[in-house]
Structure 1
Amino acid sequence: MMAFFWQRALFVSLAAAMSVYADMKLDCGTDSVRLVWTEGRSRADTSLFRLGNCFPTSFSATEAFFSVDFDDCNFRRIVTGDRLMFTNDLTYSSSPDSVDFTRPVVCEYERPEDWYPRLHAPIFNTFGLGDLEFHFGLMNADFSGPAESTTFPLGSFIPIMASVAQETHQPLLLFLEECVAATTPELQPGSTLYPIIANEGCLVDSLVSRSKFEQRQKSSELRLSLQAFRFGLGEEVFIHCKLVAWDPNGQDNSKKACHYDNEHGWEQLDNSASRYLCACCDSDCKSRRVRSLASGKRGMAQKAVLGPLTITDSPGMDPACTLAPSI
């Protein structure tokens, strides 16, 4: 069955098994990928190209070559409908604090009918500087284990947990800086979105629902009870978030976890005395750049996608959950 599946693999985002972008050749295999980037700029250093977090397998004055497995380099596995996708980004950084450009790398296949993803596996794993590992996934009702289903009735709660494995790093606080729901695994210009978290840590969905941040069990974890909304009802829904691991001593109004309480207004998860950090949730919160842990600065950020999940209609739910603002 699997042999037949791989023979029928479809490279939908590619013209054929060997696909050619303006400067990139991509060869998607059964469990690996070969990528060749040809650089036209004479001063570019091809050793500075990265596929996810992987260095080039080899490089020359004009080309960067990668030959890697999908289990490496932070490839993300996304299952949607009858498609199985492995996605990553090819980036070029001329300095540690900047990314000059990024190019999506996608291998897409037909999913065999008898193949399903394991819910016990994290949606993605990513290793940052110093083996900093982020996790993002659906949980059961009391957050004691992985979800047993990815289908949620309208108005019920979707338990979501984000965490970061600190390894030998100093203690870190984890935040969800922004989250939106979409009906596609990739955000595109013009996509219709449902705002969940905005303004650098403000759970704006709690203004129209009973969504809230749960009490932390560890500083390196963040638990979110998200009330299932009407947006994307009956369709596959993907939740796109930006996770930030941050120095606990460096909190300000750009690094916070705030949700709205009908009786008390905006509440700060980590310290009720610092609820003033949430005051900007009704206006604009000043942003501050996230910099590298390896450089001895404050923190690190990682984008993540959770899904697909499905929200189904169910009578008798709280009317608040039927509101679906879009941005």
Structure 2
Amino acid sequence: PESGLILALLCWAAGQVAAYPPWDFSWGARAEPHAWSWVEDHQSRAISSQRPVVVQCQEAQLVVTVHRDLFGTGRLVNVADLTLGPAACKHSSLNPAQNTVTFTAGLHECGSIVQITPDSLVYRTLLNYDPSPASNPLIIRSNPAVIPIECHYPRRENVSSSAVRPTWAPFSSTLSAEERLLFSLRLMNEDWTAERPFAGFQLGDVLNIQAEVATESHVPLRLFVDSCVAALSPGADSSPHYAIVDFNGCLVDGRSDDTSSAFVTPRPREDALRFRIDVFRFAGDTRNLIYITCHLKATPAERAPDPLNKACSFDRARNTWAPVEGSRDICSCCETGNCESPAFSRRLDPLDPWPSRRFRRHDANAKEAEADVVIGPVLLSRAAGAAGAEGERQEG
């Protein structure tokens, strides 16, 4: 897979380096079609005269250089307190003369997340600052900080599918064996007209997420969000975790009394599906971030929704489940949690580990394709939101 990615990236123009101070909120600054990056931090500090974090988006790796005067206060942070990505990778080199720390990692290393759009590949990771305890355990002198980092690369039509699994999946119904589908999740702004940054959320806000499937053919498809789980790191096996969508398309987060999470009706297109999630955080998490892993499925558009392929939200006014399309009876299993036939039945207890269903192939009789897609990290501001502690989740 790594060699395939390198081959694909060699087809692109060399990346142009762009870096911004962690307190710069100029989200729109981009250097496309070259690679670009941004970094941001929510702590209200004066901007340092130097750029505390500089990111180089190279062909097969990213290089992050961090000045130890991270907050511009003159106090140097401990090198051991800095790590890269959810995997907490250590630095690769130090420069004592300039008081800088450098991290070098492959684009798929250290737990980075790749988002694929029709035009680009977006690699997301984090610079973590987790200060060591003070000599006196009764006091705290510094707060943890998370600085998101992005590298954007233009996509070409001949990108190797082996480089971007599991987001690519084959469709075997009426398409040729070479046909591939592109599944994606996008975090959208309030009116769904454009993508929005992953940072700056507070408890009480709403995440607008749009799921899509694209193919170069003209075969009509209908997309479903089979399941989604939130966790503190990428992947469906992370712990703790919290189920947002479960039981083959039931938005179970909306069943809770303190949420309004739901699918959006009507769909914008058959091959797209929108849903809103009330922002939450995991209790005891000092980083204030979440990753969301969703299992997406595509079926022929002419096939009617059924209990295995549906999009159901809880209608609080009527105290019942309602589908985006199809008859209401396809949602009846959302309450019992038994939506699959006994031969394919999976867990019914929402606290059991969410099954890891990776890149999956189907034979010609399956007539569907599916893939796992990760979105995140979604970062919450330290300021208390309107919902206060009501947005905390303790599942898992």
Per the alignment, residue 306 of structure 1 pairs with 375
Distance (whole Å) between structure 2 residues aligned to residue 205 and residue 151 of structure 1? 22
Give the direction of change, closer, same or farther, for the CA distance of 1:284–1:317 in structure 2 (3 Å limit): closer
Partner of 1:260: 314
1:209-248 pair list within 5 angstroms = 209-215=259-265, 216-231=267-282, 235-248=288-301
Deviation, structure 1 residue 180: 1.0
CA distance in 2, matches of 1:193, 1:152: 19
1:189-237 Cα shifts (integer Å, max 9, x gaps): 6x11121111111111101210111120101001011111243665221
Quick one: which of 77, 89, 102 aligns to 2:123? 77
State the match for 1:174 in structure 2: 223
CA contact (8 A) 1:176 1:244 kept: yes
Whether 1:286 aligns to 2:332 is: no
In structure 2, give the amino acid aligned to 1:176: V
One-letter code aligned to 1:302: A
Q: State whether structure 2 residue 193 is matched by structure 1 residue 138.
A: no
Residue deviations 1:81-139 (CA, integer Å, cap 9, x gap):
349xxxxxxxxxxxxxxxxxxxxxxxxxxxxx895345999xx8833321211111111
| CA shift in 2, pair 1:315/1:296, >3 Å | closer
**Distance verdict in 2 for CA 1:77–1:294, change over 3 Å:** farther
* Mapped contact 1:185–1:305 kept (Cα < 8 A): yes
Q: Residue 78 and residue 286 in structure 1: after superposition, are their counterparts in 2 closer, same or farther (change >3 A)?
A: same
1:270 counterpart = 2:325: yes
Letter in 2 for 1:154: L
Stretches (4+) displaced over 6 A:
7-15, 288-291
- Kindly, what percent of the aligned residue pairs are identical? 25
Task: Give the match's secondary structure for 2:224.
Answer: strand
Structure 2 gaps of 5+ residues are: 1-53, 66-82, 93-103, 110-115, 130-146, 156-163, 171-178, 345-356
Q: Secondary structure at the match of 1:151?
A: coil
Q: Between Structure 1 and Structure 2, how many residues are aligned? A: 243
The residue type paired with residue 214 of structure 1 is V
CA distance in 1 between partners of 2:231 and 2:108 (Å)? 28
2:275 partner amino acid: L
| TM-score, length basis structure 1 | 0.61
**Whole-angstrom CA distance in 2 between matches of 1:318 and 1:261:** 24
Q: 2: distance between equivalents of 1:287 and 1:120?
A: 40
* TM-score between the two structures when normalised by the length of structure 2: 0.51
Separation in structure 2 between the aligned mates of residue 299 and residue 212 of structure 1, nearest angstrom = 24
Tell me the alpha carbon deviations over residues 285-306 of structure 1, each in whole angstroms, 9 at most, x when there is no partner.
3336798577253211100111
Taking the TM superposition and a 5 Å limit, the aligned residue runs for 1:169-208 are 170-188=219-237, 191-208=239-256
Q: Which is greater in Rg?
A: 2
Are the equivalent residues in 1 in contact too, given 2:292–2:375 (CA < 8 A)?
Answer: yes
Q: What amino acid maps onto 2:387 in structure 1?
A: M
Instruction: Indicate how the Cα distance of structure 1 residues 120 and 161 shifts in structure 2: closer, same or farther if over 3 A, else same.
Output: farther
The CA RMSD measured in Å over matched residues stands at 4.2
Instruction: Give the number of the structure whose residues are more often strand, by fraction.
Output: 1
Q: Cα 1:142–1:220, aligned 2, differ >3 Å: closer, same or farther?
A: same
Q: Quick check: 2:198–2:379 contact (8 Å CA) kept in 1?
A: no
For the structure 1 residues 119 and 309, does the alpha-carbon distance in structure 2 shift closer, same or farther, using more than 3 Å as the test? farther
The Cα offsets for residues 217-274 of structure 1, whole Å up to 9 and x where unpaired, read as 1010010111112436652210011011123315211111111111122111113xx1
Following TM superposition, by how much is the alpha carbon of 1:324 offset from its aligned partner in structure 2, in angstroms?
Answer: 2.3
Q: Shift in Å at residue 77 of structure 1?
A: 3.4
2:169 counterpart of 1:128: yes
